[in-house]
Structure 1
Amino acid sequence: MKKYIPADVPIGKKEEFLKNFLEITNNTGRLMLFAGDQKIEHLNNDFYGEGISQDDNNPEHLFKIAANAKIGVFATQFGLITRYANLYPDVPYLVKLNSKTNIIPYSAKDPYSKQMIDMKNVIELKNDMGVNIKGVGYTVYLGSEYEREMLSEASKIVHEAHKNAMIAVLWMYPKGKFVKDEHDPHIIAGAAGVAACLGADFAKVKVPYKNGKFKPELLKEATSAAGNTGVLCEGGKKIDETEFLKELYAQIHIGGSRGNGTGRNIHQRPIDEAIKMANAIYAITCENKSVEDAIKILRRRK
């Protein structure tokens, strides 16, 4: 597992970094990231409406899931963590450092998601307030006219995270007027490679499509291009549970991904169903279980 320790982790912090890394990956090197950053990214579209549990409109629903399900980390914004961390102190948190709403369409303006809070504030929350923070996350929109600013911020964030024994996850999303197809396997592989160049421990990427369809072989270019940076596929919109779990298994065992970043396919369900779905995803990702084993978890009674 020493291969997962970056060289910019100080000697005195290497043991803590490795402990955090092994804990959030269940000693597998694979990460099950429960994504709860959409309250800013998509406003209330992902939390209220047809096909979405009424539980989901209250942000505490996210924390209840994170506290009662098997997850690697729960990723959400700094402020939301401060609102609920005292109630849910055992949740392993990953602070999402930048976010933007979707009000302004990409066709109107290239996206720029600026860092909202400094790393020193995250370090204080972890060390001085005792919040169980395991890592940080940041989105880079490659292809945007503002990519230089985001690349610079991301590089500094990754380095500062490592200096403080924290894991760094980069959301690598090609977007902007020059990006014709954000699900193109080749551009996704390029994004994964950039994440490695920035020093990230994990890169969260779009699912690659060809002719509008996912084939796990399409991931191989990205997982190879990322080197020892782990590739996580985004979860996307809520779909049938079995279909989701089959695709996840193929992403890992054929495409070579090292985990997933899933939000809506978990939190849009009632609390009991959400916990079982998270546990099923974790079973495949971090416990090396089969799709059949994961489905059994979904079918269990309370």
Structure 2
Amino acid sequence: MFAKYLPADVPAEKEGVFLENFEKSTGGSGRLMLFAGDQKVEHLNNDFHGEGIPEEDNDPEHMFRIASRAKIGVFATQFGLISRYGREYRNVPYLVKLNSKTNLVPYEAKDPYSQQWLEVGDVARFRESSGLDIRGVGYTVYLGGEHEHAMLREAARIVHEAHEHGMLAVLWMYPKGPYVKNQHDPHLIAGAAGVAACLGADFAKVKVSYATDGEADAALLQEATQAAGRTGVLCEGGSKIDESVFLRQLYDQIHIGRSRGNGTGRNIHQRPLEEAVKMADAIYAITCENRSVEDAVKILKN
């Protein structure tokens, strides 16, 4: 079991709320299985319609159906989608993504800036009025550009305000822009993870560390997980790949790289509903139930 984790900026009257959110979201493991559903803004419709993608994935409700039936820690998506579908999917544990930007402007043309859409207080009031199971908030920080200072300030405020309301704070930490030569550089990823720790994040979602040959190497993730200290490192899921390969990579990230979870979207929702639920359950089994790759593959075949 993971030792009790309680940031010092959580007020006494919210300690119970925070601890409950953390315990439920990690299944008592200290690891977070984050089902990422923020791509409708980030990637427009590229991830939801096209060759090899089931037609049902084009409907936003597909992700809510998955989240309502599968084992997950939190389902991360934008406030507007939660407000549209939340009444019908009240059993889903939500994490509200507070900023997003499209990919229409290339990073080479302009340094990225993804401004905060809503305040944490707006989310807290919505949680109270709706009765939905909203456990935290998320925010993307793009390091390395001219807008870095603004996003760092927003991120610091978001983390602190989330804790004041007893909610988790997850930061997507992505170095981007003309000065970033390799987004998968293990040393750079470790630097981003360290910044997340300085911002007080509970979890940081980062890129996968690549070796010099361009292949994922879980051992290289150790620099980032150590640099993050008490901030849990989550690796992004990336593009859809073979299920067994994905599950093996996830297992190695946790047991070799010492990550504390995953942030997976396409490798779950780009499947028909029944397959998507099984894939999410398999990912949860490795992440939060400490199961083997073989056990997880059996879940896919049942």
1:107 deviates by 0.8
Q: Which residue of 1 aligns with 2:291?
A: 289
Q: Which residue of 1 aligns with 2:220?
A: 218
- Give 1:260's aligned amino acid: N
Q: Which residue of 2 aligns with 1:244?
A: 246
Output the CA distance in 1 between the equivalents of 2:59 and 2:4. 40
- Give 1:43's aligned amino acid: L
Output the CA distance in 2 between the equivalents of 1:170 and 1:46. 22
Output the CA distance in 2 between the equivalents of 1:130 and 1:150. 30
Change (3 A) 1:220 1:2: closer
Deviations 1:225-257 (A, max 9, x none): 000100000000000000000000000000000
Output the CA distance in 2 between the equivalents of 1:4 and 1:180. 36
- Give 1:72's aligned amino acid: G
- Alignment of structure 1 residues 180-199 onto 2, 5 Å: 180-199=181-200
- Alignment of structure 1 residues 1-302 onto 2, 5 Å: 3-210=4-211, 211-300=213-302
Question: TM-score, length-normalised on structure 2?
Answer: 0.98
1:215 deviates by 1.2
Output the CA distance in 2 between the equivalents of 1:129 and 1:249. 37
Q: What secondary structure does 1:32 align onto?
A: strand
Deviations 1:79-137 (A, max 9, x none): 01000000000100000000000000001101000001111210111112212100000
Q: Equivalent pairs: percent with the same residue?
A: 69
Output the CA distance in 2 between the equivalents of 1:17 and 1:119. 15
**How many correspondences in the alignment?**
300
Gapped regions of structure 1 (runs ≥ 5)? none
Output the CA distance in 2 between the equivalents of 1:129 and 1:289. 35
Output the CA distance in 1 between the equivalents of 2:207 and 2:184. 6
1:274 deviates by 0.2
- Give 2:22's aligned amino acid: F
Output the CA distance in 1 between the equivalents of 2:209 and 2:66. 28
Deviations 1:146-193 (A, max 9, x none): 000000000000000000000000000000111010100000000000
Output the CA distance in 1 between the equivalents of 2:282 and 2:247. 8
Output the CA distance in 2 between the equivalents of 1:2 and 1:242. 31
1:49 deviates by 0.2
RMSD over aligned Cα, in angstroms?
0.7
Q: What secondary structure does 2:263 align onto?
A: strand
- Give 1:30's aligned amino acid: R
Output the CA distance in 2 between the equivalents of 1:204 and 1:139. 9
Output the CA distance in 1 between the equivalents of 2:185 and 2:221. 10
- Give 1:38's aligned amino acid: Q
